[in-house]
Amino acid sequence: MSFEGQSILPAVRSMKDFDKMLKTSFQYGVFLDLHVGMLKSVFDYAKKEKRNMFLHLDLIHGLSSDEYATEYICQEIKPYGIISTKGSVIKKARQRGIYATQRIFVIDSSAMKRSIELIHKTDPDYIEVLPGVVPKIIREIGEKTGKPIFAGGLIDTVEEVEASLEAGATAITTSNLDLWKYYDRKNLNN
């Protein structure tokens, strides 16, 4: 799936950052580091502004990231998608019809093997690969899973974004506002 030409999925860490995202052309993004008490109002606001937001379930303060929390989030909050490192969360989100992104950390060949096995078990809609600055890993995971990939973590420059995209990443998740600005201008020029 394409995100209407978006190469960047803004990763939003605060409401101040979300307000900055609203001033861009980006329609898709990711909420990180939210307090459980803010979820409903933040997602209502995002929907009102016609933004499709993923929720990183593992980073919600005050809520355990398990299948029960996933059930609650899917029923009550209804995010566009969920991101998690936990297989049970991914499976539950898929059962509830919410786009599920399996986040994996590839630190060595053993972690790569375990991650690919997990992906085959959970069958996520997307995979988020961290760190996203290793094109070889993006290419290999794409080939072995056939899933769309988000690259995230440690991507700081336009050259690193482009290298990850060329390696097969569908989009880059980043909280780097300079990259948001650069790729927003690129979106507006297309």
Tokens of 5: 């030409």
- Residue 2 resides in a domain: no
pLDDT at residue 178 is higher than 70? yes
**The pLDDT value given to residue 4:** 87
- Residue 57 resides in a domain: yes
Tokens of 32: 């990180």
Q: Are 127 and 147 in contact (CB under 8 A)?
A: yes
- Note the pLDDT tens digit of each residue in 46-55: 999 999 999 9
Domain total of the chain: 1
- Residue 47 resides in a domain: yes
Q: What is the CATH number of the domain that holds 77?
A: 3.20.20.70
- Note the pLDDT tens digit of each residue in 91-139: 999 999 999 999 999 999 999 999 999 999 999 999 999 999 999 999 9
- Residue 92 resides in a domain: yes
- Residue 71 resides in a domain: yes
**Closest C-alpha among 108, 111, 152 to residue 129:** 152
- Residue 1 resides in a domain: no
- Residue 3 resides in a domain: no
- Residue 14 resides in a domain: yes
pLDDT mean across residues, the chain:
96
Average pLDDT, integer, range 13-37: 96
- Note the pLDDT tens digit of each residue in 140-167: 999 999 999 999 999 999 999 999 999 9
**CA 103, CA 130: separation in Å to the nearest integer?**
8
Q: Is 43 exposed, middle or buried (0-12, 13-18, 19+ CB in 10 A)?
A: buried
What is the residue range of 159's domain? 8-189
- Note the pLDDT tens digit of each residue in 64-100: 999 999 999 999 999 999 999 999 999 999 999 999 9
